[in-house]
Amino acid sequence: MVIIEANKISKVFNGATAVDKVEFKVDKGEIFGFLGPNGAGKTTTINILCTLLKPTQGVAILNGFDVVKEPDRVRASIGIVFQDPSLDERLTAWENLNFHALIYNISKELRKERIQQVLEMIELWPRRNDIVRTFSGGMKRRLEIGRGLLHFPKVLFLDEPTLGLDPQTRNYIWDYIHQLKRREKITIFMTTHYMEEAENCDRIAIIDHGKIIALDTPAKLKNLVGGDVITLTTNDNKAAAKEISGRYGLEVQTETGHLVFEIANGEKFLPEFIGRMQEPVTSISVRRPTLEDVFLKLTGRKIREESGSAMEGMRAKMRAMRRR
Amino acid sequence: MNMVNLRAIYSIWLRDIIRYRRDRSRLISSVAQPALFLFVFGTGLSQGLAIQGGLGGGNNYITFIYPGIIGMTILFTSIFSAISIVWDREFGFFKEVMVAPISRAAVAIGKAVGGSTVAMLQGIIILFFAPLIGVSLSIPQLFLVLPLMFLIAFALTSLGIVVAARMATMEGFQMVMNFLVMPLFLLSGAMFPITKLPGWLKGLTIIDPLTYGVDALRIIMLGPKAGAYSLVSDLTIVTVFGAAMIVLAVFMFKGTE
Ligand SMILES: Nc1ncnc2c1ncn2[C@@H]1O[C@H](COP(=O)(O)OP(=O)(O)O)[C@@H](O)[C@H]1O
Ligand SMILES: [Mg+2]
């Protein structure tokens, strides 16, 4: 069953196209990811789906409701964790959740029970009466996720849920997200620019410059890369590259002192390959392709080469400060 | 208003109350400022001035400005509460409210009710100075003063929301202080009698809505002779102004994305 349907939605800001005829369907119960570099249009797409922005063109249906024509119905169907912090840091964890429960019209009988249930799930029950300002970045993020869930939404939006968190905390957050999918059986729509995190999704749309350039399961996306990725160094990379492309008819890329190419069944290929090379191999490795390789293949760029303008850099810094 | 929006108004109100209760520094400074005005300014000018009969009802200067200082406290607190919307916008909390399935009107009204309650509470704190000033208030007087303070606060908070609705950053706060709050305060007759002013100044006091709030407070607290207008006309003007402002505030909120 389809729960989100975006039909060629576009958003133009003062003549600049941020989202360009984006089209996709999300099935009920799946974790659907939007993967793309900074400024690709991920947040803008979420803002359209959650009724905060009107699309310049196109139609989006969420839980059977049109996001432009029936915004209140859509709002009641969704929970959202914004990219930037949105807690009231002067309230306690419990007060933040109680505020949310009230504006989402959760009945009095259910309210207390549900708040406790959520606080226990995000492991903040013992800290419920502490002011949010005293929380760590990871705790705040967990509280925001808990808050997004509180009113039993059909769809939970997570906009860069792990941005600015350290790797350990990021892993924790992911544990919660998986736990949540099992327990609450909701649909999760998330965005990230961390490749390795996108692997957690059932399906991924890769977005660049406002356009979806690929959409599939992580495994199938990785099949777009022709097999395993071989990285090697030699004394004369130029000559070696020529030799490899000449003998195997492969495309060889040069990356800061390394040669990189793709081949099916990399492990089996390796012994024979090393034996036959005229140019002696000084180091070599085989690895499975990652989504980074997919992005590189599709766009010719690395996703994390942050094109980040000064403004974005500043925003990231402010975010990091607030997260503390 | 259905149940959903009543709950929303309640929750926005509750948040303002919790934050107010928790903010000790705001509490202290908001008492300190009126106290300074009242005791330092009031006492100082009382010594130097002998405004024969001009204060109405034979009041001395400090007694005369006491209702004005309550008006000032309500003004500052109301506008400050309303402007906190801009903080919420800058710190992201506003989005949590805007994405909720509640009407924009409920958000504006909740904020107006929350801000006015806080401003009224601040006004009540200043009421505790009454014995020190030599003003004695009877129980019926108190029963009139409290709703009046709320009414004035509601009108001013709504005005503040109208201003805050389109403010993107707190950078405009200084402008609001200089071009809205200070003129409203100085022209309200909180610190001087408005009956014998030159024409241009008199004209300015007439268009200041706080003039009528302060005048009504003065009539109730110090007696009918202390007022420049009648209580009925004061109340009518404040009520009409408040109603117009909350309607405008709701309207402004509906337009925000
Ligand atoms: N309110 C806005 N006004 C003007 N331009 C905007 C606005 N919001 C986003 N943009 C622009 O739209 C593009 C996409 O931004 P965004 O959706 O935030 O990207 P992402 O979330 O993928 O990093 C960027 O170029 C950004 O500068
Ligand atoms: Mg974003």
Ligand 1 atom closest to A160 (CA): 21
- Assess whether A248 and A175 both reside in one domain: no
- Pairwise CB contact (< 8 Å): B257 & A53: yes
What is the average pLDDT across A115-120? 94
Q: How many CB atoms lie within 10 A of CB B35?
A: 16
- Higher confidence at residue A135 or residue A299? A135
Residue A323: inside a domain: no
Q: Report the DSSP pairing between strands A211-216 and A65-66.
A: unpaired
Provide the pLDDT for residue A315. Answer: 55
User: What are residue B141's phi and psi, to 5 degrees?
Assistant: -60, -45
> What is the ipTM for the molecules in this complex?
0.91
Q: Which of these three, A192, A219, A246, is where a domain ends?
A: A219
- Assess whether A126 and A249 both reside in one domain: no
Euclidean distance between CA atoms A111 and A108, whole angstroms: 5
Q: How many domains, chain A? A: 2
DSSP-derived letter for residue A135 is S
Strand (E) or helix (H) holding B48:
helix B42-48
The answer to whether the CB of B79 falls within 8 A of the CB of B176 is yes
Q: Is the pLDDT of residue A324 over 50?
A: no
- Assess whether A154 and A284 both reside in one domain: no
- Assess whether A148 and A28 both reside in one domain: yes
Q: What's the whole-model pTM score? A: 0.88
With tokens 């130029």, the residue in question is A238
Ion ligand 2: residue ranges with CB closer than 5 A: A 42-43, 83
CA proximity to A216, closest of A208, A224, A298: A224
- Assess whether A178 and A239 both reside in one domain: no
Euclidean distance between CA atoms A203 and A51, whole angstroms: 23
Give ∠ CA A151-A76-A216 in degrees, rounded to 5. 90
- Assess whether A198 and A239 both reside in one domain: no
Q: Report the DSSP pairing between strands A16-27 and A2-13.
A: antiparallel
Helix (H, G, I), strand (E, B) or coil at B101: coil
On chain B, the residues whose CB falls within 8 A of the CB of A75 are 99-101
Helix (H, G, I), strand (E, B) or coil at A36: coil
Provide the pLDDT for residue A296. Answer: 83
Q: Which of A62-76, A114-128, A166-180 has the lowest mean pLDDT?
A: A166-180
Provide the pLDDT for residue A172. Answer: 83
The answer to whether the CB of A207 falls within 8 A of the CB of A226 is no
- Assess whether A190 and A244 both reside in one domain: no
- Assess whether A270 and A139 both reside in one domain: no
From the list A52, A90, A98, the residue facing B98 with the nearest CB is A52
Residue A311: inside a domain: no
Mean pLDDT of chain A: 89
CATH code of A41's domain:
3.40.50.300
CATH code of A271's domain:
3.30.70.260
B75, B113, B121, B184 from B213: Cα distances, Å: 10, 18, 16, 11
Distance between A103 CA and the closest CA of chain B, angstroms: 5
Q: Is the pLDDT of residue A307 over 50?
A: no
Q: Which of A41-45, A197-201, B106-110 has the lowest mean pLDDT?
A: A197-201
Provide the pLDDT for residue B128. Answer: 93
Written as tens digits, the pLDDT of chain B (257 aa) is 688 899 999 999 999 999 999 988 878 887 898 999 998 888 888 776 655 555 655 668 899 999 999 999 999 999 999 999 999 999 899 999 999 999 999 999 999 999 999 999 999 999 999 999 889 999 999 999 999 999 999 999 999 999 998 888 888 888 888 899 999 999 999 999 998 889 899 999 999 999 999 999 999 999 998 999 999 999 999 999 999 999 999 999 886 65
On chain A, the residues whose CB falls within 8 A of the CB of B18 are 91, 95
* Interface-testing mutation among A103, A104, A322, with chain B (most B C-beta atoms within 10 A): A103
Euclidean distance between CA atoms B225 and B229, whole angstroms: 9
Q: Report the DSSP pairing between strands A203-208 and A31-35.
A: parallel
Q: How many CB pairs under 8 A join A and B?
A: 70
- Assess whether A246 and A204 both reside in one domain: no
The answer to whether the CB of A163 falls within 8 A of the CB of A319 is yes
Provide the pLDDT for residue A322. Answer: 53
R_g over Cα of chain A: 23
Range of the domain at A89: 2-219
- pLDDT digits 0-9 by tens, A46-69: 999 999 999 999 999 999 999 999
Provide the pLDDT for residue A167. Answer: 85
- Assess whether A253 and A146 both reside in one domain: no
Helix (H, G, I), strand (E, B) or coil at B199: helix
Q: Which of these three, A219, A240, A264, is where a domain ends?
A: A219
User: What are residue A33's phi and psi, to 5 degrees?
Assistant: -115, 145
Helix (H, G, I), strand (E, B) or coil at A88: coil
Residue A312: inside a domain: no
- Assess whether A174 and A65 both reside in one domain: yes
- Higher confidence at residue A84 or residue B255? A84
Residue A302: inside a domain: no
Residue A142: inside a domain: yes
Euclidean distance between CA atoms A2 and A69, whole angstroms: 19
Provide the pLDDT for residue B178. Answer: 86
Q: How many domains, chain B? A: 1
- Pairwise CB contact (< 8 Å): B4 & A50: no
Euclidean distance between CA atoms A42 and A57, whole angstroms: 16
Q: Which of these three, A203, A219, A235, is where a domain ends?
A: A219
- Pairwise CB contact (< 8 Å): A102 & B93: no
The answer to whether the CB of A156 falls within 8 A of the CB of A78 is yes
Euclidean distance between CA atoms A177 and B130, whole angstroms: 58
Cα A153 to chain centroid distance, Å, stands at 20
Residue A305: inside a domain: no
Range of the domain at B83: 3-254
- Assess whether A207 and A236 both reside in one domain: no
Beta bridge pairs of residue A110: none
